[in-house]
A and B are shown apart, each in its own frame.
Chain A
Amino acid sequence: MTRIFLRDLRLGVRAGGGFGLGLAFFLIVVVLVPFGIGPETARLGPVAPGILWIGALLACLLSLDRVFALDREDGALDLLATAPVPLEGVALAKAAAHWITTGLPLCLAAPALAVLLALPWPGHLWLAVSLLAGTPALSLIGAFGAALTVGLRRGGLLLSLLVLPLYVPTLIFGADVARRGAEGLSPLVPLALLGAVSLGCLAILPFATSAALRVNLR
């Protein structure tokens, strides 16, 4: 399992691995927002937590179709399924690798980009914390969607349609942590709920993902 995780990391950062694409996308979204809603700090500040969360969520979505599709194309998925590792472990390792290559950079970049959107000060910290707690859920849910659509030739659009509604609870709690943080309120309640969502995803989704993979390999 650790080996699969490390291999995916290595593939991710090699040429053509798509590392940094999500981050660049996130940057562009954040830069475009003021053009859409105006440059005034008073207007940007209140919407910043939501915009940053939605940007991070879409950036996550961007790289999801690679999670299993590449291994499916070159036959590695068949070989992983016959290797002496549980398929649940494969699913978990791949979601983890997706999180490290996509989710974690977003968490680190978000406080810096929040400056561009005039997020009030303590919000930066809580934004990073909320992304740290929430992006694992995004990767796990995304891996599940990727497993459902891995057998389809043009599954990308369908993947978004399946995954985005599943992202609703994570987005609500995550953005609320950042918003309350920025407004100086205590964000602990939504943060606890966000953590619970991530842990719940960690507990059940690898099984659903491996079930979907097994059906698609048949």
Chain B
Amino acid sequence: MSFSTSFWSLANPARFMSLTARAVPILSVLAGVCLVGGLVWGFFFTPDDYRQGSTVKIIYLHVPAALMAINGWLMMLVASLIWLVRRHHVSALAARAAAPVGVTMTLIALITGAVWGQPMWGTFWAWDPRLTSFLILFLFYLGYMALWAAIDDPDTAADLTSVLCLVGSVFAILSRYAVNFWNQGLHQGASLSLDREKNVADVFYHPLLLSMAGFILLFLALVLAGTRTEIRARRLHALRLRERMA
């Protein structure tokens, strides 16, 4: 009850601004600590893998970025649904703010994946199903952001991008299966799973967890900060429209 009331009270822009004013700096500091801690630990104080050599260190970037690339889209999907069903403006603006963060995460996952692929597969780019899926996800992000940018009226833009996000999600999942069908793949699926028992030794696992926490916190901080900016921009838009009217 108390969670649900406090969650939906975020739908009021002024309430959202006052509730998140303190959260952004706290999250930013936590994100910085976790990120620096996880990456320094991973980069300097973990041994090389006997098979992959030092390239195993890329795991601390690639896996968390890939995780947040997908979670970013999921967050956009949920926020779009909330906007379409309950018409909370903050939700639509949060979806808009998540897109640039998500697209950066996707790009990081792609670049680190390609660099990792070079020593592993002998080529920078392989049309591996997972990598290909991320490339498609990248294109979805670009289309979504371009649609936001192209439409003047903010509510129209929110409606249309939400519909695109819904339809895009269905097609993103479909593409994932289609791509799997199309090429069985080189990716060692196992080494990327979070199932610690099987694949990732403890020495790699703990810094990876810390780095993941850092990416998650960074994502939250950036999305909240971005949403605050979008709310201000939206208020600015409303004020300017009325100035023009008067």
Contacts and interface: CB of A to CB of B under 8 A. Distances in A.
Interface residues of A, number: 28
Contacts of A165: 136, 139-140, 143, 168, 171, 175
Contacts of A151: 151, 156
A148 interface: yes
Contacts of A164: 139
Contacts of B174: 169, 197
Given A152-B150, A162-B147, A215-B156, A172 B170 contact: no
B159 interface: yes
Contacts, number: 75
A63 B122 CA distance: 42
A218 interface: yes
A175 to B, nearest CB: 9
The A interface is mostly helix, strand or loop, or mixed, namely helix
Contacts of A8: none
B179 interface: yes
B3 interface: no
A194 B139 CA distance: 22
B236 interface: no
B143 A169 contact: no
The B interface is mostly helix, strand or loop, or mixed, namely helix
Interface string A183-218: 000000010010001000000110010011001101
A37 interface: no
Interface of B: 136, 139-140, 142-143, 146-147, 150-151, 156, 159-160, 163-164, 166-168, 170-171, 174-175, 177-179, 181-182
Interface of A: 144, 148-149, 151-152, 155, 158, 161-162, 164-166, 168-169, 172-173, 176, 190, 193, 197, 204-205, 208, 211-212, 215-216, 218
- In the A-B complex, list the 5 residue pairs whose CB atoms are closest, starting with the nearest: A169-B178, A165-B139, A215-B159, A172-B178, A162-B143
